[in-house]
Structures are given as structure tokens and as C-alpha cells.
Amino acid sequence: MTYLPEMMMVEVVFEKGAIGSKHSHPHIQASYVAEGSFEVTIDGRTEVLNKGGSFIVPPDLVHGVKALEAGRLIDVFNPHRAEFLK
């Protein structure tokens, strides 16, 4: 969506049942559930978040999501993720 060296905002669209595989990265991540319902796992702890919910992932923690219905996440990263620009 938009970025500066210090920050990046992206929209990620998920179909029902889609998986955002567990991974980690050195960036701080803040995510907002713009639409849908997601099972969110951060550092081994899982909870369900619905439209309007949000979560923050500190650097280097393993995290992932599963779309319980079709939905969209708005993810913000600090600093920006250069690999998303390729």
C-alpha cells in the first residue's frame, strides 16, 4: 500500500481457510482485522480475532494466522520489509 524506510503498510487478502504460515522476522508488526475472522498464533499462544481486532508482534517472535472466513488484514511493519518491494 505505502511505505517509507521506517515503516510500511500493506493489505493482505485471505480466502476462507487460507493460512499465513508461521514465521518470524526482525520487524515490529502491528495488524488490524479490517474484515473477517482470524485465528492468530503468536509465540505459541492462539486466539480468535474478528473485524476491528488487532495484534502486535514484537521482533523475532514466531507468528501466523488462519482465516476462519474470507477477510483482510492491514499489516504495519517497522522498519519496512524490503522483500515486499520485489
- Per-residue confidence in pLDDT tens, the chain, 86 aa: 899 999 999 999 999 999 999 999 999 999 999 999 999 999 999 999 999 999 999 999 999 999 999 999 999 999 999 988 88
Q: Which domain holds residue 81?
A: 2-85
Cell of 48: 480468535
What's the predicted TM-score (pTM) here? 0.94
Q: How far is CA 39 from CA 22, 81, 85, in A?
A: 12, 23, 27
* pLDDT score of 9: 98
DSSP 8-class letter at 82: G
CA separation for the pair 82, 42 (Å, rounded): 23
* pLDDT score of 71: 99
The predicted-structure confidence for 59-80, as pLDDT tens digits, reads as follows 999 999 999 999 999 999 999 9
Domain count, the chain: 1
Residue 25 sits in a domain of what CATH number?
2.60.120.10
